[in-house]
Structure 1
């Protein structure tokens, strides 16, 4: 082989050496939009981008990028990012501190609870940040996050910020304390000075302070709050009055006290959600009535009979007080009241103005029939309710779910201090396990799960292997309650379906633990790395219970081809056409995938003929489930996109059964619900048709959902 001349060889080698030492040209810097798109992708795949997302959250030179990265960390909710979130609390830019404070609250609300050391560290960081924060809005966010955390240290700070009532922090602190009481139990607010709370509900120019004080009163459930609750019933602000009525239902008294009188006056207040709360409170107080003397709360509830005629006239919102009583239920001595109201409904039905009014009256009749069946613990009244207009499957499912709540004499005739007799099993539900409707089969399983009987074992076992995943899961859970060891082969076969049907996880895990004990541990540990967050949470909680030692799941990055609906453009609206009128929702640009998912479903006609299956007066109206029992969905799930939108009156949220389990079910809030903030994706608001939302009753049909655009 010929050689190159020496001079040429040396020159060539020098050129090669230079080429090796000159660095390649740097890639062009990413545009902000490109960085934001990467963050969005990581967020949706629950990825930290190999550490890049944390780096952007802590050190990105662009403030907007840092804020967006912190929002992604808030939505991912990985305890491993705690240091990055805490670092943001001391950032120079107030927008970064504010977003970090929000992210801290989201970590506190993790569906899989934080380890104790993380809770301690987060408490210390938030307490220090709140003590030194100069910006008012950031400080309010810090107070909100302390409420979500609900540790003793957090409660101590919030209590200190309650006073003076006219101060800048009293409203946020009171609301946050109410949230803490909802999360950690009423004991969380047990040591808050009552005088400080009373000062918040005294009439003042800023009704928001009254609302926060009333929320704290209602959630704390303290016996020493009765006087304050009585006084704020006359506040004049509907939501304040509703909260105070709710509080009196929990801690008020009957007999010679003024509580029944005050609540009876609120029944005629004129705002449906307030009247519904007063009716519910009176139903709660009726349980406290002793045998013998007249029960004043029951006498007050008889006055609801005239509302049947209003519903017949097409004023469906007047049915909310009736629905609240039926849902709450009455003690056995209240049975004549339930019958009185049913008689009024039947009379009103004969003169109803529209088919929609007929449908509402028929359903309310079945609601009261089911409340009567709950009193005796077996089906009777629902078998003939609804004037022939309510389908059998719907009547049976309602009745079975209600009798599942039967508590025997403990809520009927047992006197204080007396032991309640054993609650009999739900043997009457066994034949309904073979009903043609999966909704009825599911309801029968609910009744048997609460009140198991041996004769249910074989038919329940057969349902575990059925094609309906919802029924199979409920059957598995019931088999666990029945301690049916013979169900184990079918249960193990169902467990094999969990990787592809993650909604089964909770029921299957509970049954595995009940029937296998520690032998279930290997399978549950496999689930700790499942791509679906809720499967991992269920596995971790089950293993913690099984082993007695804390177990946490790992964060799992989702594959790039995970279902991701096209984002809804800013200004997108959804108009729900119902038989009571139209409701128009403006979607939040801050939750583009959640909105985009519903837009895609609407364009497919998914919601046509679907009902509002759940209405809880003064709380929510929920729809979007094609099954009609709250268990259905579109066959896919989307990730949560927690926003900064609070749950005020008319907020639209995504219904969940765990983290990242959104599908097609959504809800409207009738009134402020601070305990939902940051827990369920709030993705829009009602911009027209709130009166229709107020008129929704269970069974109201959605004829269609139209997609539109609101002019800027």
Structure 2
């Protein structure tokens, strides 16, 4: 990262992704400090302060308070505040205009979508502001806002910027790609100017933006330039371009992807392996993609020698899965792990054992029945983890046979296994699962009961409606039940579920309201919106982390040092800092690792459904999700808790949605080496 000064703006610039300027503003006086504290309180309670917050966002208390008030509105996401946010786009101070542009994007990206009329108004205002904006920081923020808005007018303006000077063109390309990833049509995007942005003489940021657009434009004419960037000097560009061939390619692409399986950067090899695995899904017999994947036997030997990051290419294959014609590849990789010689350490032995089980589970997915996974791992992987892994794979099985093998898992004593079994029988229902699933609806574990509700909805078990309604009655006290219960109610009784769901529209938890609006919109065919509900005063708030605070995650593979962003995300940073001081993370695992995406941990249950027993609000920041950023995992608006993730590579589609609250400053090689099940020995805090 390189800092520089320009127009009183101090920027931290990543090599790949644009990040916002943190502009120098005059330090607040005593009166301002009091006002800023008041804004923070309103933001905590999701309150507009009887209109006072809106007035301050309009400039009533000066620049520093105005900027902070606009940030609060960005996080509250109340459609009635649109006009005061748009007024900020015309402010004299670039710092205010930039914050207003960010807030505009966040409002466009609300968890509850804006009505079409307001989207049109926002599009018009952003286009007018961008047409005359000269400040680079504000221009960046406006392009990002267009990507979150995704309307035809926003997309057209981004297209117009593809022929601007190279930095702006690269940022426009990235913004278009992010819109495409979110499902916006990019059919009108001309590709000739994009191809020019891939030249070796272009900055990495520009090349990355162009590649990102080509990946998500999903048009045949994008394949030739993507083939060219498979040999880019930057590993993140190479990995991105490898991802772009997920729908297929020809012999030249196959040869290039096969070479990338031996790339010195493991996340590049993982993307190549994932893409080739997708190609192999069409193979009914031995074929070239499967032959190429067979070369990963060398990576298996490296894992045994202690190179944990080399496991990611094999993990990508196992997670993606192979057709039955690929069974010899999975068997060969398991043999390579077994024949690599004694692992050099206990850690390497655990890596080998887990990869063996991952491959075994992929084999069971091919047949749709638990078999290989029941005896995998050489005794190093617990029976509970093996069952849970195998059952999750059954949910993705390729054939109908073997579904009854999931039923015994419904009565397993371990909650992780019961959840995985519910996933499996929900995907492939069998009559003998009905009784044990209904029994789980009445259990003490709310997570399992919620999943059981979702499962009886998928299975159309009408007799289970009384139990589902009993769970619905618990939603006011247990908000996490809302999503699975809403799905079950809609599936089992259709429009008759409306009264219950409408009762949730005024729930104090934002995510319950979001669930209700989505379900009711689907039921009625008309957009339904909830009202903003203020939290009461005295709502629990974690202490703020001290300035300059760091967390040191200790694992058997080494330490990961994270600098927390207490300035932009005091609540989220303070929450993790406080949990670490309590010893909360000791013995907790990284339960989810997706190569070239994230490593996620912090769940005491170990199944991705746990937390500290409370939730915190979102604090969307200007920090971009580049490689090595720590973010808060969510299940909806304001559902943060203890689960966090590290990014392996840039993830611009996460910007402005998941709170980014720090960055790895040492130990990124450890993040790259993490596998599912790796244990956090402890998290130390400094200071």
* Structure 1 length-normalised TM: 0.91
Match in the other structure for 2:544:
567
Confirm or deny that 1:176 pairs with 2:159.
no
Deviation at 1:168, TM superposition (A): 4.0
Confirm or deny that 1:429 pairs with 2:406.
yes
Confirm or deny that 1:243 pairs with 2:255.
no
Deviation at 1:30, TM superposition (A): 6.9
Is the 1:226–1:252 contact (alpha carbons within 8 Å) kept by the matching residues of 2? no
Is the 2:123–2:153 contact (alpha carbons within 8 Å) kept by the matching residues of 1? yes
Is the 1:226–1:251 contact (alpha carbons within 8 Å) kept by the matching residues of 2? no
Is the 1:175–1:216 contact (alpha carbons within 8 Å) kept by the matching residues of 2? yes
Match in the other structure for 1:252:
248
Match in the other structure for 1:578:
555
Match in the other structure for 1:351:
342
Distance 1:55 1:258 in 2: 60
Moved more, 279-288 or 257-266: 279-288
Alignment of 1:454-533 (within 5 A): 454-533=431-510
After superposition, the C-alpha distances for 1:562-612 in whole angstroms (9 at most, x for unaligned) are 220011121000000001000000000210110111111111111000110
Match in the other structure for 1:39:
39
Is the 2:367–2:398 contact (alpha carbons within 8 Å) kept by the matching residues of 1? no
Distance 2:396 2:580 in 1: 36
Q: Secondary structure at the match of 2:683?
A: strand
Distance 1:667 1:547 in 2: 37
Confirm or deny that 1:117 pairs with 2:117.
yes
Deviation at 1:407, TM superposition (A): 3.6
Match in the other structure for 1:74:
74
Confirm or deny that 1:387 pairs with 2:378.
yes
Distance 2:404 2:195 in 1: 50
Match in the other structure for 2:10:
none
Q: Secondary structure at the match of 2:437?
A: helix
Deviation at 1:61, TM superposition (A): 4.1
Match in the other structure for 2:17:
none
Distance 1:73 1:426 in 2: 49
Match in the other structure for 1:281:
275
Distance 2:615 2:490 in 1: 26
Name which of 203, 212, 215 aligns with 2:212.
215
Is the 1:58–1:84 contact (alpha carbons within 8 Å) kept by the matching residues of 2? yes
Match in the other structure for 1:555:
532
Distance 2:49 2:362 in 1: 53
Distance 1:443 1:158 in 2: 43
Deviation at 1:425, TM superposition (A): 7.7
Confirm or deny that 1:683 pairs with 2:661.
yes
Confirm or deny that 1:202 pairs with 2:199.
yes
Distance 1:681 1:392 in 2: 35
Distance 1:320 1:334 in 2: 18
Q: Secondary structure at the match of 1:645?
A: coil
Deviation at 1:692, TM superposition (A): 0.6
Alignment of 1:324-335 (within 5 A): 324-335=316-327
Confirm or deny that 1:665 pairs with 2:662.
no
Distance 2:30 2:111 in 1: 35
Deviation at 1:682, TM superposition (A): 0.1
Match in the other structure for 1:233:
230
Distance 2:352 2:539 in 1: 45
Q: Which has the larger radius of gyration?
A: 1
Confirm or deny that 1:316 pairs with 2:316.
no
Moved more, 140-149 or 58-67: 58-67
Name which of 289, 312, 315 aligns with 1:297.
289
Deviation at 1:522, TM superposition (A): 1.3
Distance 1:34 1:512 in 2: 47
Match in the other structure for 1:621:
599
Is the 1:585–1:684 contact (alpha carbons within 8 Å) kept by the matching residues of 2? yes
Is the 1:425–1:452 contact (alpha carbons within 8 Å) kept by the matching residues of 2? no
After superposition, the C-alpha distances for 1:402-454 in whole angstroms (9 at most, x for unaligned) are 1101243xxxxxxxxxxxxxx45822211211001111001000011111122
Match in the other structure for 2:162:
162
Q: Alpha carbon RMSD of aligned pairs, Å? A: 1.3
Distance 1:277 1:644 in 2: 28
Is the 2:89–2:96 contact (alpha carbons within 8 Å) kept by the matching residues of 1? yes
Deviation at 1:561, TM superposition (A): 2.1
Alignment of 1:60-139 (within 5 A): 60-139=60-139
Confirm or deny that 1:594 pairs with 2:572.
yes
Deviation at 1:480, TM superposition (A): 0.9
| Structure 2 runs not aligned, ≥5 long | 1-28
Deviation at 1:207, TM superposition (A): 1.5
Tell me: CA distance 1:551–1:205, structure 2 relative to 1, closer, same or farther (3 Å).
closer
Is the 1:625–1:632 contact (alpha carbons within 8 Å) kept by the matching residues of 2? yes
After superposition, the C-alpha distances for 1:350-403 in whole angstroms (9 at most, x for unaligned) are 410111111111110111111111111121111111111111111111111111
Tell me: CA distance 1:91–1:424, structure 2 relative to 1, closer, same or farther (3 Å).
farther
Q: Secondary structure at the match of 2:619?
A: coil
Moved more, 676-685 or 595-604: 595-604
* Structure 2 length-normalised TM: 0.94
Distance 1:169 1:87 in 2: 24
